[in-house]
Every structure is written in structure tokens, then in C-alpha cells.
A and B are shown apart, each in its own frame.
Chain A
Amino acid sequence: MSQLATFIQQQRHTKSILLMTHVIYGYPDIASSLQMMGTILQKGVAILEVQFPFSDPVADGPTITDACHQALQNQPKLGQCITDISQLAAQFPSSRVLLMSYLNPLLQYGFDALATDMAAHISGVIIPDLPIDQHTMLAPLVAANVDPIWLMIPDMQQSRIDFVAAKARGMLYCVSRKGVTGQGAGSQRAKQQLHDYLDAIKASTQVPLALGFGISTAEQVSELIGVVDIAVVGSALLRAFQAQGLAGFSAKIDELMSVS
């Protein structure tokens, strides 16, 4: 069994829901982004998702896209990013660190090199523009126990769910709705559809489920208790940082962590 999945299941013995929060490496600058990551880990967030910025983040909405473009002004290097976040992961062994990026920066680095450099401390990788059909590209990561974390979306056909479920390792990242990151959640009817969609996935796999897109408050996180294992908060934390700096960011994590 995947080390990440085991970690999540052990954590869930004592916590009703886990939190996964997101930081863009290099935004607003590399040092500050590392400080934000340190804050997240110090506060005991279970999973830290670090986005290595890409020039053309097609699955991200305006908040994260603009922040990625600003981060690129600082010329972040993927090799240094992995080194930096590996150090953090080593420093906080009771949490897990995932790398998220788009395909091209990872492709240029090379999946063999990524597997070698990530194996010690990084538990998984999320690549929103890599469809499951291309899973063999990530074989070196799987061999190194770095889990590819696949995305699930609403309206997936059962055969497609089964196809992804068969390849699932560590956790599945379920997108709550169509569209890009950073937009609000929907109506009561939308919530029922969400439950139906997650039930269909649960019927196909034992792998822990994370839900993301549109989760911004502690109330929303608490609503997910018993529904999924992990609530993912991305754009909302970024907006808190943009509004009130590190203090606002820190307060937002405290708010989210009050649920568990």
C-alpha cells in the first residue's frame, strides 16, 4: 500500500477530516513562500501542496494564475524548489508534502530525475494537464513511491471512474465542479449532485478522497466531515494572504484548522 494512503488513514483514526493547503513556490518571493509553507506545517496541517508555477496554468482561475505569473518574475528553479520543500518535509515528519505543477516544467526536468530527487521526502505529485491515459509517463515516480495523484471530476462515466480508480495511489483529488480554481460553491441541488458523484467514486476505490475547488471557509470544511477524507483549500488562502499578509494567512489556517 502507498505510504501516503497509509498516512492519511492513520491520521483519520484521530481526525474527522484532514486539511490540505496550497502555496505557490516563489510567490510573492521564494523566501516568503517558504515561510508560508513553514507556517502551514507548524500549525499541523496534514498535507501541504506546493505549486511550482508555470507560465500557462490552464486549470487555474485568475487568483492563482496571476500569482503564478508574479512568482515567475522571481525565476524559480524546479530543482531548488524540490530541495527546499524536501527540507521542510524532513523538518515536519508528521505532515506530508505534495508537488503540484503542469506537465511541461516536469517534463523538461525529466521524470527519472524527478523520481530520484523527490523519492526521499515528497509523497506525491499532482499534474492537472496530464490525463490518466498518459499514466505510463509517470512510471518512474510510481517505482520511487511518489504517488501520482489523479483528478476526478463530476459527470465522469462509470468506465472512466473505474479506469482511474484502477491506477489510483495515495489519494484521489476530486474536483467539486466544472471550471477552474478559485470560484464559489453552488446550491443545495449542487450539493446533492456532489454527494452522488463522490458515492460513485467510493464504490470503485478504497483510496482516500480529497475534495477541492471552491472550499474557502471552516464551515465548508466541517460540512465535508464524513463525506471525504481531505478538504483542499487553495485560492482562499492566497486571497487571505493578499488581503492581510502573513497574519491574515496564518489566521485563515487557524480558522480552517478549528475543524477536525
Chain B
Amino acid sequence: MNDTGYFGQYGGSFIPEILYSSQQQLLKHYRQAMADPDFIAQVKREMQQYSGRPTPLTHCANLSAQIGGAQIYLKREDLNHSGAHKMNNVIGQGLLAKRMGKKRVIAETGAGQHGVATALISARLGFECTIYMGAHDIARQYPNVFWMKQLGATVVPVTSGSQTLKDALDEALRDWTASYEDTHYLIGTSCGCEPFPEMVAGFQSVIGEEVKEQAMAQIGAMPDKIYACVGGGSNACGIFLPFVGTDTELVGIEAGGRGDGVGEHAKRFHTDQAKFGISQGFASMFIQDDQGQLAPTHSISAGLDYVGVSPILADLSDRGLVRMTSAGDSEVLAAFKTLMKAEGIIAALESSHAIAGGLREAAELDSSQNIVINVSGRGDKDIFTIAKALEDQPFNDFLRSYLEEGQ
């Protein structure tokens, strides 16, 4: 891919030669599809009729009063079919794969949200489906694995390396090197080789486009700031990109984890543990050691512990168009509870990072100002993690009796 697919110094295509022709084929079909009004209409229709778009922009009067600063609005990606923004991308790529005549899709997944979304669209569009998921993530997120299997997907536990998202991505790439003729690799975030970052961010940009319309209708102005959590970066790209270059400040919140030590967080910005690197098909900021080995990460949310980050966001951060900050596990849990009790909304732990960042800064703003926080997904899936973190003893009793009843 010569000099294309770059965002500043990031992005590009760094893939084994074996994937060259399938990447070229994907690029060609993607460009053709995006220039075809029928395809665009088909994607839009599926987003409306299958996923329930547009998702609402919800004003949080109680929460705004409680924090005592800016008016807080939530973009409700949690109300998508499947419970997360991941659906936007799988609809777009699924329809593209269908158009390309592929029979099978493969995907990597971290928290399992992208895996479930891929399994859902595969059932609907008639693809054979294989999901690669780190063994550690499977242990943390079994309910998602359960649904993928029920939907007919094959879930392959990845036991190599750190057994998380990056290893699942490696394994999916290995599958693709042997299966590209009939298989589409449905990457779940705006990372990887060209055209994946642009394509995933593009399908997700429906989030920001809707916010623009809804902000005008409901607020009568563009938001002053927008907050989104940043794992791989797809929900952040989706809500940010339509606002790049406007007066709205864009703030990304990374997983601050439990500390600043190696393996305690998943920060790709504002840390000397991350630097420019090239791996997994693209150039970006990667958490790595002095030998260039990708390093272990931690987050309370399985969906934010990716070792790299979207090249689009790395470039926007370099250019000062997106401000990156982070929130730690305990601040995230507190924000999760605050939102839940004030507004009756159960956000995913991933999204609760954005909420933590938004609440932290909302207090400093004037009540005439408006912020939008992207609730990228709903928190039902996190019931086990949250019950454990909140030390809810009755939940343990329930699990015990559930198991005993089954015997």
C-alpha cells in the first residue's frame, strides 16, 4: 500500500506478503461500495431496522444538578441491538463481506461485545463465523461467549502470549493468511492495516453525525466537549470524527487501571511505557518495553486493555485535535455507580471511563455549557465483574445455589 492509509506518521500497511492480495481486494471493494448510493442506503436501513438507530441523546438533569457544572448529555450507544456501538461496524463490514461474496467471517474480540455483534450479523447474513478470544477474556466474560456459541459461532480460546485482545488479533490474522479466499476478517476496532482504521471509523461515524443533529434539536448548539473511552478507539473515532476541526473539544479517556506500573494500566498516551511502534498491521502508539516487545496491560474493563490504539486517534492527539486523559479502576466504578443511581442507566465499565472523565471535568464548567458523553455500551455484561468489585455477598450466594440446583 505504498504511501496510502497513513494518518500523519501512523497507520499504513505492515502485513505479511501473503495478505497483500486479499487486502487489495478488500480495498477495491470497499472503495466501490462507499461510492455506491445503494450500498450506503442498505447500511443505513440495516442500522435503523436491525440495530434501532438513531440512538437517543439523553439529557441527565439529575446528574447535572448533582455535579453542579455543565449540562450532561449521554449518547446512548448502549441502546443499539447487542448493547454496544460495535453493531454499527459489523453491519457495515458484514454487508461489505456479503457484497464481496465471502462465505465466512472471522473476528477478534476482547470484552466479547464485538464477538457477539459479529455472531449476530453472521446469523442474520448467513456467514460461517469464527471468533478468536483470549483465554483470560473468556474467563472474564463467559456470558458473551455463551451467546456467541448459541448464535452458531465457533469461539476459539487463544492461549498464547498475554491471552487477551492483541493475541486474539494475532490469531485472527494467522487464520486469515490461510483462509482469505472465502473469508473476511471483520476487525472490531479502528486499528489494523489499511483500510480497516478508516473503514471502522467511517461506519462508526454515524454516532457523531447523529449527535450533531440531536444537539441542534435538543440543545440548540453544538456541545462544548465530547467524552469517549479509548480502547482500540472505534467508539471515540465514531463520535469524534464529525466534530474534528469544530469548536467542540474532544476528550479521550484511556484505562488508567490500578496504577502506573508496567502491566497495571492500558495507557498509550502520557506515559513513557508507550511509544511509536509498528505491529499488528499498522504504525501507532504501542505499550512496549525497551526491546520493542508489546507489554502486558490491565483494565477493570476487558474492552479497554488493548496494547495499541487507532492510528487516527494517535494522529489527532499529536495534532492537538483530541485531548487524551485517563481514569483509574476505582474512579470508574464510582462514576458507574453515580450515573446508575442518578439516572437509572447501567453503563458498561468501558463506557464508565468516559463517564468518569466527563464528570471530573463537568464540575469545572458553567451550567450554560453542555457536554456529551458517549455511553458506548450497556453494563449488563459486567454483572460478574461489578458484583465482585462491589463485594456483593448475596451474588456469590446466588451463584452457589445456581450451581447446586444444576447438579
Contacts and interface: CB of A to CB of B under 8 A. Distances in A.
A216 B213 CA distance: 62
Given A59-B16, A59-B174, 18 more contacts: A56-B170, A56-B280, A66-B160, A72-B293, A77-B291, A103-B14, A103-B279, A104-B277, A104-B293, A104-B294, A108-B291, A129-B278, A130-B14, A131-B13, A132-B17, A151-B16, A151-B18, A153-B18
Interface string A117-143: 000000000001111111000000000
A155 B22 CA distance: 11
B6 to A, nearest CB: 12
Query: Main SS of chain B's interface residues?
Result: mixed
A160 to B, nearest CB: 7
Contacts of B280: 56, 58
Given A56-B280, A133-B2, A69 B17 contact: no
B189 to A, nearest CB: 16
A190 interface: no
A247 interface: no
B13 A133 contact: yes
Contacts, number: 113
A60 to B, nearest CB: 8
A175 B18 contact: yes
B160 A178 contact: no
B391 interface: no
Residue from the set B160, B170, B293 with the largest chain A CB neighbour count within 10 Å: B293
Nearest to A102: B279
A178 B178 contact: yes
A8 interface: no
A62 interface: yes
A151 B177 CA distance: 14
Contact of A129 (B14, B162, B167, B290): B14
B293 A54 contact: yes
Nearest to B4: A133
A104 B278 contact: yes
23 contacts: A55-B294, A56-B167, A56-B280, A58-B170, A58-B280, A61-B174, A72-B293, A76-B291, A78-B291, A102-B279, A103-B14, A104-B286, A106-B292, A108-B291, A129-B14, A129-B279, A131-B13, A131-B16, A131-B20, A133-B2, A150-B17, A151-B18, A153-B20
Contact of A152 (B17, B281, B290): B17
B292 A107 contact: yes
Contact of A109 (B177, B286, B288, B292): B292
A192 interface: no
Interface residues of B, number: 35
Nearest first, the 8 closest Cβ-Cβ pairs linking A and B are A108-B292, A179-B178, A105-B292, A104-B292, A55-B293, A55-B294, A58-B173, A153-B18
Given A58-B280, A77-B291, A69 B160 contact: yes
A16 to B, nearest CB: 28
B161 interface: yes
